[in-house]
Structure 1
Amino acid sequence: LHPAVIALGHRYAHGQIRGGNARCKAMLNCFASILHDYEPTSGTSSAVSDLRTILDHNVLKPSFQYWTETCRPHSVSMGNAFTFLKTAVASIDREMAWEEMRSTLLETMEAYAKERIDFADQAIADLALSKLNDKEVVLVYGHSDVIQLLLLKHFWANRNFRVIIVDNRPLLEGRRTLKALREAGVDCTYVLLNALTYVLQENVSKVLLGASALMSDGSVLGRVGTACVALAAHKHNIPVLVCCETYKISNRVQLESITHNELGNPEALLNEDDVLQNWKEIDGLKLLNVLYDLTPAAFVSGIVTELGIVPPTSVAVLLREMDQGS
């Protein structure tokens, strides 16, 4: 394995890179480093069809398997990007020289990151901006790159509004959003998840949520606690908008949060003076640090993608259109 693969796997495993977009970009950058350093062995440079197979089975696939099986399960965004990269390798002209092939793949990965992530986030922020008015009270949960961009754009448009940031242990990712918004001068309130029902009574006009993935039935896979926020907002008749790029759409259907999920380090749930410090010695006691939950489509008012704002029931239509377009 390339040293960059092992280094990135270490960062994945220790939580130094979090978020679907950040993990996907890091993967693409790592593959770019591998392609820069990779040179075909003698005897394969003249057989490009064999070289494409070697690149797929000996370079790309072992790296992805190492990250997934040894370090941390891959996100939907990483899986979709990896599938796209494998398709790009397979579609290369068999007569193409290695240097040209490498250049083509590097340009393809760079274009994918810009179009499906960076430009998509800008488009989502512009679309969602039309749904925000002056003197709004907007509630967000945890951290999402696209929602942070949206709120900053709303503030730069000289809008007077307030943001309530709801966070949750043990990751406390909402502090990243809080820091960015406060540095820009946005009026913020920061609370933990157990105060959610209290702050929802403070004239909250909209709830904005990020997503790790969109299931084909319109349900939303997000950081654990997302479903609680969406449920509470739904019960208070507050619109819930989910901002998500289309490259995070999965063709799977998921009905609950247990079958397909990811477990974090249980030690992260403990405080320094916690009475559960010796929990491993207590028979019949286990600590469960679930990282994601599933929000039913019924709790979501609309999904904002770079292709437009759609109801959750239209996610399957988006998926079909994207498959036909590819």
Structure 2
Amino acid sequence: MAPAAATDEEKAKKAAEKARRKAEFEAKRAKEGNPPKKKQLSKAERRELQEKQRADKEAKKNPKPKADKPPPPPVERPTTILGHLTKATSSTPPADGVPASIVELGQKYAAGEFDGSNDRCRSLLDAVRTSIKDYAPPPDAAAARDLDVKLKSWASYLEKCREPTASTLAALKRLRLVASTLPPDISPSEAQAAVETCCDRFREERVELAVREIGRRGAQKIRDGDVVVAYGYADAVEALFSEAVGRNFEVVVVDSAPAFAGRRLLNALYAKRVRTTYVRLTAAAPEIERATLVVLGADAVFSNGSILARSGAFAVAALAQRRHVPVLVTCEAYKCHDRVRLDAADANELFEFPSSDDTPPLTHLTYDVTPASYVSAVATEHGLLPPSAVAALIRELAEKETA
């Protein structure tokens, strides 16, 4: 009976404590005054109040812009891995002092009239030679210094029209080197003559003679009964086949959109009565399977031995390597570049196919990069070199130019 009595006593204490707290609360409430009771809201009034509170909350999150300060324009950001690449454009306004021949050349670059790297270099040298005839430095400027500044501005304008190639970069580098090393007191006529001579020598020695020498050296690799696969077009590739005329061999020209540069090589070989087959890139595999040699023209060869060529060359080289067919790359030495290129997305040029109302615009990479491991030899005017020897050739040429 004792535990039950204890439980009743605890309950009585709790009840007394509860009554005491209630009495204190009532006394405090009576002292402060009874607050008015809230009005009971109907269901519609509660919904209206909730909607108003929700609208006020959204207004705080998204404040309205001030009337006197317009919102900033949207910033275009690249949305793909190729967003950093440029397209050729003919809407670039020329800077002050850019001659008409350079402006015309920039428009032709943008329109794609000069597609090959050698053709672009020749057209550049011709435009500079034409522009320099009317050159006259300001009265208070030295001819040598002003000429270098003008060449730099011309190069900047052409670069805005279209991404420069290794060939045009090498030509402009040589021209600016000649202009910067002229004596400060040289007359304008002497400066003009020096630049004209540089244009003529560069074109004859670094382009024309180089193409013929590469053709002579490369033709030694063609024997009777060979089936040679060539992709696209290059001056040195055409020279190589021209040197081999008279031997019993067959050429398979592989071509692809959008340039279809292989048609130019096809016409040249047809005029020389060379037995030729023309196929698209999608049908190249069976032809490479029976080939004894693959010849590619390069737009540039980098110091790590990788090859920059028309888009599709990498696919041809990969097919050749899989079937153990040697790949010979023709490249003039002035197009050997001291940069290192690992893939085509690093720096390239975009070509946009013409579109209509029924078809969306399609963008195409102009060049691709072939790793050195896919190349058997690089044919230059200095000889047939392994890709690993390109870096040494670049150093030797740089030492000769600065000597």
TM-score (ref. length: structure 1): 0.90
The worse-fitting range, judged by mean Cα deviation, of 292-301 and 247-256 is 247-256
For residue 369 of structure 2, what is the amino acid of its counterpart?
L
Query: Aligned pair 1:188/2:188, yes or no?
Result: no
Matches within 5 A, 1:4-83: 4-44=101-141, 50-57=142-149, 59-69=150-160, 71-83=161-173
User: Which residue is equivalent to 1:284?
Assistant: none
Q: Which blocks of at least 5 consecutive residues in structure 1 are unaligned?
A: 45-49, 281-286
2 CA distance for matches of 1:166 and 1:11?
A: 27
Aligned to 2:318: 231
How much is the aligned-residue C-alpha RMSD, in angstroms? 1.4
Point out where structure 2 has 5 or more consecutive residues left out of the alignment. Answer: 1-97
Q: Does 1:293 align with 2:333?
A: no
Q: Distance in 1 between matches of 2:324 and 2:237?
A: 21
More moved, 102-111 vs 236-245: 102-111
- Cα distance, 1:288 vs. partner? 2.5
Q: Provide the residue aligned with 2:59 in structure 1.
A: none
Q: 1:114-138 CA distances to partner (integer Å, 9 max, x unpaired)?
A: 1000001111111111111112111
> 2:383 maps to what in 1?
308
Taking the aligned partners of 2:381 and 2:353, their CA distance within structure 1 comes to 36
Amino acid at match of 1:100: E
Code of the aligned partner of 1:313: S
Deviations 1:280-321 (A, max 9, x none): 6xxxxxx32100000000000000000111100111111111
Structure 1 equivalent of residue 72 of structure 2: none
Q: Report deviation, 1:104.
A: 1.6
Q: Which amino acid aligns with 1:144?
A: A
- 1:88-167 aligned at under 5 Å gives the runs 88-155=178-245, 158-167=246-255
Superposition pairs of residues 193-232 of structure 1, within 5 angstroms: 193-201=281-289, 203-232=290-319
Quick check: 1:2 aligned with 2:99?
yes
| Distance verdict in 2 for CA 1:208–1:278, change over 3 Å | closer
How far, CA to CA, are the matches of 2:287 and 2:393 in structure 1?
A: 34
* Structure 2 residue 358 is matched with structure 1 residue 277: yes
Cα distance in structure 1, aligned partners of 2:344 and 2:183: 43
**Aligned-residue offset at 1:277:** 3.1
CA distance in 1, matches of 2:358, 2:134: 46
SS in 2 for 1:37: coil
Q: Percent identity?
A: 33
Whose RCO is larger (CA < 8 A, sep 6+)?
A: 1
One-letter identity of the residue aligned with 1:83: K
CA distance in structure 1 between the partners assigned to 2:194 and 2:340 by the alignment: 34
The runs of at least 4 consecutive aligned structure 1 residues that moved more than 4 Å come to none
Q: TM-score normalized by structure 2?
A: 0.73
Aligned residue pair count: 304
Q: Distance in 2 between matches of 1:212 and 1:109?
A: 20
